[in-house]
């Protein structure tokens, strides 16, 4: 039997095979994928083939690393339906496993070029570390800092003295001009010139002294720094060469056996350089093995196993799409020629939906935006609040959109009908004087009744539009919240965003440092349902013309 091909242990008779392959970047797992994933999860819960700390057992030792696993339902040459499985990256420090297909390129093969070069790079790193921590080198660096500071102070003092002496000579010259005869003044002027030259000579000697002193220290330092620079340049060159070697070794097949490497696949992307870890995700591994062994891909799904990373949101056993940054160029090639499900992001979800006008005057509109309705035109879909309002109010002026709601979020939006109103309203949002209240239904119970979340956010550059919690580069994001009701293992809460970052409420709800409970229907940070149960229910702001506080409320439909 073909290695890694697994027959279903669960009954699958009567299950209709999908007619098109999974669109990997947005999907609802096929029933066969769910069964395969469940069988794989059963294995992970009981296996003794490898030791790895997923963070699911509190007392287990070792670094906690959750992992993405994938299943690919396939048909073999005997027309048998089964599945193959893969894990993202290496697992338990190896790429060789009983249940998981091998990587596209195994850089960890014993005595491989990669390992030899990696060992050499590690040796260079060690040499650099030894030199940079050498006691004499550190003492010289400190001495250079101290002597440089002394030189600055001394030269500054001497320069001030030089200026003061010049001022003094100028005063003496003026006085002499008034008191001395011509011949006496000429002799006096010559004396002043000599004093000036002596002062400048002394100052120049001081600067030369410090230049010599610092040069001497730098010469001693260069014995170390030159070695370090040579090692770093060697490391840079070897690292780039090794990286290019790896890019070329990752050769990806498609259904027609056409191969392309990472360099070729990412040549037309914005950065051109493949992100770290490209080709190590589960989807390329699964498809590569299938094409190598003439297995027909039927359907695919990926799920997370273990504790979530600190930055991105990954829930244990939840299904996730393939990442955009690392996998999109690869899968575009690997899946070429295979009929796939339609990309749902190309379909306009706003068809048949209408905007409800809650309030209108000469300056503004307050509307209710339905769920799955864009605030502004997207890359593929133009239909949006902006385009609808432009059509409905052809004479409206200004940018119109003051703030946005996520496509999946329903609720109240205030729109400006002229530039003056837009500037005023936008200023209120920027200065955080607008009161906003959202209603959300969480997929589980939370213990506390109220609180505040402060988790900075930034975009996930490898998987837009997902957001990451990032304390180093993220923008500040703050949300207050309070529980309204707990019922049937769900929690209804009110959310009060102080800031307005992209996906702020969704991330703050789902992240383990936030509420650690996803909003029901959150297809990015939780589980897909009929809709995202997040609604902008209340808005209060100052009218741009009357300067009166006005408020609006719209009850959630869930």
What are the pLDDT tens digits along the chain (558 aa)? Answer: 799 999 999 999 999 999 999 999 999 999 999 999 999 999 999 999 999 999 999 889 889 999 999 999 999 999 999 999 999 999 999 999 999 999 999 998 888 999 999 999 999 999 999 999 999 999 999 999 999 999 999 999 999 999 999 999 999 999 999 999 999 999 999 999 999 999 999 999 999 999 999 999 999 999 999 999 999 999 999 999 999 999 999 999 999 999 999 999 999 888 788 998 999 999 999 999 999 999 999 999 999 999 999 999 999 999 999 998 999 999 999 999 999 999 988 899 999 999 999 999 999 999 999 999 999 999 889 999 999 999 999 989 889 999 999 999 999 999 999 999 999 999 999 999 999 999 999 999 999 999 999 999 999 988 888 999 999 999 999 999 999 999 999 999 999 999 999 999 999 999 999 999 999 999 999 999 999 999 999 999 999 999 999 999 999 999
Q: Long-range pairs for 49-52 at CB < 8 Å and ≥24 separation? A: 49/97, 49/98, 49/99, 50/91, 50/92, 50/94, 50/97, 51/92, 52/91, 52/92
Q: Please state, in angstroms and rounded to a whole number, the distance separating the CA atoms of residues 521 and 557.
A: 14
What Rg, from alpha-carbon coordinates, does the chain have? 34
Q: Which residues contact 414 (CB under 8 A, 6 or more apart)?
A: 364, 365, 366, 402, 403, 425, 539, 541
8 Å CB contact between 479 and 448 = no
Left if phi > 0, otherwise alpha if psi is -120 to 50, otherwise beta: which for 6? Answer: beta
Q: Please state, in angstroms and rounded to a whole number, the distance separating the CA atoms of residues 446 and 516.
A: 8
CA-to-CA dists, residue 66 to 50, 89, 131, 152, 314, angstroms: 14, 11, 37, 54, 9
Name the nearest CA neighbour of 345 among 504, 464, 244, 258. 464
The pTM of the full predicted model, rounded to 2 decimals, is 0.84
Half-sphere exposure of 313 (CA within 13 A, CB side): 32
Q: Which residues contact 267 (CB under 8 A, 6 or more apart)?
A: none
CA-to-CA dists, residue 422 to 377, 433, 525, 541, angstroms: 19, 15, 33, 13
- pLDDT confidence of residue 464: 87
8 Å CB contact between 38 and 357 = no
Q: Which fold is adopted by the domain 348-553?
A: Pseudouridine synthase (3.30.2350)
Q: Please state, in angstroms and rounded to a whole number, the distance separating the CA atoms of residues 420 and 425.
A: 9
8 Å CB contact between 147 and 214 = yes
Q: Which of 13, 383, 406, 447 does the annotation list as catalytic?
A: 406
DSSP secondary structure string, 157-214?
Answer: HHHHHHHHHHHHHHHHHHHHHHHS-HHHHHHHHHHHHHHHHHHHHHHHHHHHHHHHHH
Is 154 considered catalytic here? no
Q: Please state, in angstroms and rounded to a whole number, the distance separating the CA atoms of residues 472 and 551.
A: 37
8 Å CB contact between 471 and 332 = no
- pLDDT confidence of residue 269: 86
């Amino acid at each position: 039997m073909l290695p890694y091909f697994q027959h279903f242990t669960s009954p699958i008779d009567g299950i209709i095979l999908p007619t098109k392959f999974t669109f990997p970047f947005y999907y609802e797992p096929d029933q066969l994928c769910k069964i395969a994933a469940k069988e794989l999860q059963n294995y992970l819960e009981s296996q003794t083939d490898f030791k790895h700390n997923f963070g699911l057992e509190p007392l287990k030792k070792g670094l906690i690393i959750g992992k993405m696993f994938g299943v690919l339902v396939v048909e073999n040459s005997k027309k048998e339906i089964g599945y193959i499985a893969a894990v993202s990256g290496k697992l338990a420090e190896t790429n060789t496993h009983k249940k998981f297909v091998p990587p596209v390129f195994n850089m960890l093969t014993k005595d491989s070029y990669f390992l030899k070069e990696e060992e050499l790079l590690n040796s260079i790193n060690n040499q650099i570390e030894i030199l940079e921590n050498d006691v004499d080198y550190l003492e010289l660096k400190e001495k250079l800092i101290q002597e440089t500071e002394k030189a600055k102070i001394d030269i500054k003092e001497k320069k001030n003295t030089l200026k003061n002496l010049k001022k003094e000579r100028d005063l003496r010259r003026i006085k002499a001009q008034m008191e001395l005869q011509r011949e006496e003044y000429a002799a006096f002027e010559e004396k002043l010139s000599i004093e000036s030259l002596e002062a400048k000579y002394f100052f120049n000697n001081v600067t030369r002294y410090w230049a010599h002193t610092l040069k001497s220290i730098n010469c001693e330092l260069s014995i170390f720094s030159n070695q370090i620079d040579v090692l770093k340049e060697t490391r840079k060159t070897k690292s780039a060469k090794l990286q290019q070697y790896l890019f070329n070794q990752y050769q990806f097949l498609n259904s027609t056996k056409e191969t392309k490497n990472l360099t070729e696949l990412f040549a037309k992307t914005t950065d051109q350089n493949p992100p770290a870890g490209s080709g190590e995700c589960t989807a390329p591994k699964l498809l590569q093995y299938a094409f190598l062994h003439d297995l027909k891909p039927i359907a695919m799904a990926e799920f997370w196993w273990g504790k979530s990373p600190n930055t991105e949101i990954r829930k244990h056993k939840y299904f996730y799409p393939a990442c955009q940054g690392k996998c999109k160029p690869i899968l575009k090639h690997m899946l070429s020629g295979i009929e796939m499900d339609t990309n749902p992001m190309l379909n306009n979800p706003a068809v048949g939906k209408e905007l409800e006008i809650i309030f209108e005057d000469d300056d503004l509109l307050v509307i209710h935006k339905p769920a799955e309705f864009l605030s502004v035109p997207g890359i593929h879909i133009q239909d949006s609040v902006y385009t609808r309002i432009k059509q409905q109010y052809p004479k409206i002026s200004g940018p119109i959109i003051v703030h946005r709601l996520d496509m999946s979020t329903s609720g109240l939006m205030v729109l400006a009908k002229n530039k003056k109103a837009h500037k005023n309203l936008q200023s209120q949002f920027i200065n955080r004087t607008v009161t906003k209240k959202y209603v959300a239904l969480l997929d589980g119970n939370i213990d506390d009744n109220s609180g505040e979340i402060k988790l900075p956010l930034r975009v996930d550059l490898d998987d837009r539009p997902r957001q990451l919690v990032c304390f180093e580069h993220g923008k500040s994001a703050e949300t207050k919240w309070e529980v309204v009701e707990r019922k049937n293992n769900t929690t209804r809460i009110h959310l009060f965003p102080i800031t307005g970052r992209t996906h702020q409420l969704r991330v703050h709800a789902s992240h383990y440092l936030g509420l650690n409970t996803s909003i029901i229907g959150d297809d990015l940070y939780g589980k897909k349902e009929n809709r995202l149960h997040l609604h902008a229910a209340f808005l209060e702001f100052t009218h741009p013309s009357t300067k009166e506080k006005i408020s609006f409320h719209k009850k959630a439909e869930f």
